[in-house]
Amino acid sequence: MFIDIHVHPAFFEPINTEEEQTEFRHNALDIHRNGTAPLEHIFNQMRCAGLDRLCLLPEDYTTTAGRAVVTNEEIRSLVDMAPDKFIGFASVDPLADDCCEKLEHAFADLRLKGLKLHPSRQWFYPSDERLEQIYQICEKYNKPILFHSGLSWEPDTLSKYAKPMEFEELAYRHPKLRICLAHFGWPWVQETAMLMVKFPNVYADTSFLYFDCAKEFYFRVLTQDLPVTWIDRSLRHQVMFGSNNPRFEQIRMAQAIQELDFRESTLELIKGENAIEFLGGLD
Amino acid sequence: MVIYKSFSLLTTQYNDLIRITDEIEKAVAESGIKNGIVTVITKHTTTGITVNESLECLESDIDTFLKRLVPEDYPYVHARMLRSYGSTAGNPTGHLKAHLTGNHCVFPIVNSEMVKGDAQDVYFCEFDGPAKRTISISILGE
């Protein structure tokens, strides 16, 4: 099983019926010239990458951008179109008044598998007490949270909210809450590794490609900035493959992760088994 | 008179040669133009248009030839974040292969038919697939 834990479906054709909506998404995400993708193309891309499942992540930026970029309902509709290929996450704006009701609805009624939050774009610190109720809802439903961490290319983002160290208090106060620091918290990958070795409920994904090509950057970050032994020996149960497609290159990243010097069993964990554990199962 | 048409296709492979002769001949037949030229142009910079003989062995040799000239594993400079896209450039081999094949081909039209040699077929060349691609056909004549 090969799972991409980090995919943004903002430009999937079935949820881009209005030109204005697509334009808003281009500007909100600062992703341009990529067109919209029919599902058939997504499936072709998955086949070329060797991927079995994609985790689809929405973005609710109600208080900072006026609306959600992709809604939870749109995620549900995409999952219903390909339930054997797509895993749907929810998003809420944690500073919006109705965030808890929205999250309950996303888990109880829309049956979404986890929550995506973006501290840099939604402008909150992970240890902010206003988030406490959201964390409790995730624990109640046994749902993980995938947090943006590290550099964000999106507009109106401040990296200070998403430095890995900002997640320590959350990991400490909620040891049963599974959290993922997306993008491995790049460039602070050693801080992320510190949290992971200390807290077994902290995961990280590999959705970083800010310099060079996939092979070069993965080699740099996952074998040099982080010695390959750190992941292969100590963090092997907490790293998940993610691409951040369409920002980054899913096919080349999926190939590059398999060309590093991990043990075969470690690679299988990174490719899918850790994601299944993080998600609390695929069903 | 100038007739412009286009058609799109979803490619399914990273690199692929797709025969599009029938689509071009159909466009010529439907244009009503009896004498002139037809130009076929890809709208993308990591794809090409080429003319060659439609044989499995040649398709394989062309693919191997291009891969030898433009290997995947090479320190290309076109491998960085592009501000205008907000995404990473990772397709230098596509651009370079497209540079080699060129982006178009031209055939004469005589008596409402595209004139080509018996061995000639038109190929759309995918060098960075899978992707949604569009091909322009301009038919000029009378």
**Structure confidence at residue B36 (pLDDT):** 98
Q: Provide the shortest C-alpha distance from residue A36 to chain B (in Å).
A: 9
**Which CATH fold topology does B2-141 show?**
Jelly Rolls (2.60.120)
According to the model, what pLDDT value does residue B35 have? 98
- What are the distances in angstroms from CA A196 to CA A30, A167, A183, A192, A241? 30, 11, 14, 6, 16
Taking residues B65-83, report their average pLDDT: 97
Please give, rounded to a whole number of angstroms, the shortest distance from the CA of B73 to a CA of chain A. Answer: 9
Domain range summary for chain B, segments of one domain joined by +: 2-141
Inspect the interface and report whether the beta carbons of A30 and B86 lie closer than 8 Å: yes
In sequence order, the 6+-apart residues with CB closer than 8 A to the CB of B88 are A209, A210, A247, A248, A249, B79, B80, B81, B82
Instruction: Spell out which chain A residues touch chain B, with contact meaning CB-CB distance below 8 angstroms.
Output: 29-35, 37-38, 40-41, 44-45, 47-48, 153, 209-216, 246-249, 251-252
Please tell me which of the candidates A38, A45, A247 has its beta carbon nearest to residue B86: A247
- The 10s digit of each residue's pLDDT in B81-134 is 999 999 999 999 999 999 999 999 999 999 999 999 999 999 999 999 999 999
Nearest to B90 among A30, A33, A214 (CB): A214
DSSP track, B14-66: SSEEEE-HHHHHHHHHHH---SEEEEEEES-SSEEEEEE---HHHHHHHHHHH
Query: Is the pLDDT reported for residue A139 higher than 90?
Result: yes
CB within 8 Å: A211 and B73: no
Write down the ipTM of this complex: 0.92
What number is the average pLDDT over the span B49-63?
A: 98
Confidence of residue A283 (pLDDT cuts 50, 70, 90): confident
pTM, two decimals, is 0.95
Q: For A49-68, what is each residue's pLDDT tens digit?
A: 999 999 999 999 999 999 99
At residue B86's C-alpha, the angle toward residues A82 and A227, to 5°, is 85
Judged by CB atoms closer than 8 Å, whether chains meet at A247 and B90 is answered as: no
Q: Which of A234, A243, A282, A225 is nearest to A262 (CA)?
A: A234
3-state secondary structure of A196: helix
- Residue A222 Cα, gap to closest chain B Cα (Å): 18
**CA A63, CA B91: separation in Å to the nearest integer?**
37
Sorted by where each begins, the domain ranges of chain A are 3-279
Cβ contact B63:B129 at 8 Å:
no
Q: How far is CA A142 from the centre of its chain?
A: 17
CATH superfamily placement of domain A3-279: Metal-dependent hydrolases (3.20.20.140)
- Residue carrying the six token digits 């990458």: A49
**Close Cβ partners of A109 (under 8 Å, ≥ 6 residues apart):** none
Question: Is residue A187 scored above 90 in pLDDT?
Answer: yes
Taking an 8 Å cut-off on Cβ atoms, the answer to whether B85 and A153 are in contact is no
The whole-number average pLDDT for the span A160-178 is: 98
User: B52, exposed or middle or buried, with CB in 10 Å at 0-12, 13-18, 19+?
Assistant: middle
How close does chain B come to A260, measured CA to CA in Å? 14
Closest chain A residue by Cα to residue B12? A44
* Rounded distance between C-alpha atoms, residue A6 and residue B64, angstroms: 34
Residues of A in contact with B8 (CB under 8 A): none
Amino acid at B129: G
- The chain-wide mean pLDDT, for chain B, equals 97
Chain A residue with the nearest C-alpha to that of B73: A215
**Residue-wise pLDDT tens digits, A198-229:** 999 999 999 999 999 999 999 999 999 999 99
Chain-centroid distance, C-alpha A226: 20
Token digits of residue A279 = 């998600």
